Amino acid sequence: MAGKVLVTGGGGYIGSHCVLELIEAGYQPVVVDNFSNAVRGEGDVPESIRRIEKLLDTSIEFHELDLLDQAGLEKLFKKHSFSAVMHFAGLKAVGESVEQPLRYYRVNLTASMNLLEVMQAHRVHNLVFSSSATVYGDPQHLPIDEQHPVGGCTNPYGKTKYFIEEMIVDQCKAKKDWNAVLLRYFNPIGAHCSGQIGEDPQGIPNNLLPYVAQVAIGRRKHLSVFGNDYDTLDGTGVRDYIHVVDLAKGHIAALKKLKDNGGCQVYNLGTGTGYSVLQMVKAMEKASGREIAYKIAPRRGGDIASCYADPRLAEKELGWKAQFDLERMCEDLWRWQSTNPTGFSNGTAS
């Protein structure tokens, strides 16, 4: 067994896929989540975690905990000896962050400070942080490599990720026994090939693909395409979409990298290819065999025209490369959505 890993926000979309990959790689995850973006299943455990237990025929330790509760976090660290922490927990919607900046700063920054302080107090010095390409702001060049300037964020969500990165960088500088890997994701989509776990946004989806899938399944009438006057091939926003399983495997590679004692290191996790909103709609129409109605709407605050990664550093230093193509991402997403038309609230998946 390769050690106990604390996974914060482990009931959510990316966190749950990482929990599954951790178990398959021989680690023992301990999951905490406050259910802000996870569906409560039987026994007050996230439905995603319950399904992973069934899928892998295992049991996963889970604690309902909000990282704003530092005393609760302290108690957890007294109970366990963690070899590392994977930190996913946080609010994550760009548009919502523009409308509610103070909430985003309070929740994301305070939670991360609490976590870092408790880690320091209990001598847990290995961290993989779930960051975002939003830290790059409006791209000065494409593709975006890790040397691209950061901090010119176009929304409060991106700023919280940038500030948390800075906290971790400073902590690693101050404490030479700390090691951290900051993973800047591009746009995770898709679902586990079993169709048992996937993205199940609570309320109206903030991200493109879950919304498209819900239109295809009949839960929503049409997609609003925010802006068709960007400087892109068809006027709609271009993003680098990465399969969530590829992303999760990138976290396992990052965890192994911590053993090198390299201080604080940063990697992009993306495919290096950008697709427009309308290209994604067409790809999902193909995967689902259904027409997806859309309407053009005004641009959203905080959005940018194009954003895609240069992922070569992760390949060189982590030995990681995205394996799944766009067709596979959309097929896996559709399998999840069609098997679970109302998401995790379907209850036990067959």
**Furthest CA-CA distance within the chain:** 55
In which residue are the tokens 């990282």 written? 67
Catalytic-residue membership of 157: yes
Segment holding 262, helix H or strand E: none
Strand, coil or helix: 199:
coil
Looking at the DSSP bridge assignments, the partners of residue 196 are none
| Residue-wise DSSP of 20-88 | HHHHHTT-EEEEEE-SSSS-B-GGGSBHHHHHHHHHHT---EEEE--TT-HHHHHHHHHH---SEEEE-
Contact 27, 84 (CB under 8 A): no
Nearest one of 153, 327, 138, 150 to 241, comparing CA atoms: 327
195: left (phi over 0), alpha (psi -120 to 50) or beta: left
Strand, coil or helix: 274:
coil
Torsion of CA 194, 199, 202, 205, to 10 degrees: -140
| Helix spans in 182-233 (H) | 208-217
Cβ-based neighbour number of residue 180 at 10 Å: 25
Nearest one of 26, 128, 28, 33 to 85, comparing CA atoms: 128
| Residue-wise DSSP of 156-168 | HHHHHHHHHHHHH
Active-site annotation holder among 27, 104, 136, 157: 157
Contact 274, 238 (CB under 8 A): yes
Q: Report the catalytic residues.
A: 157
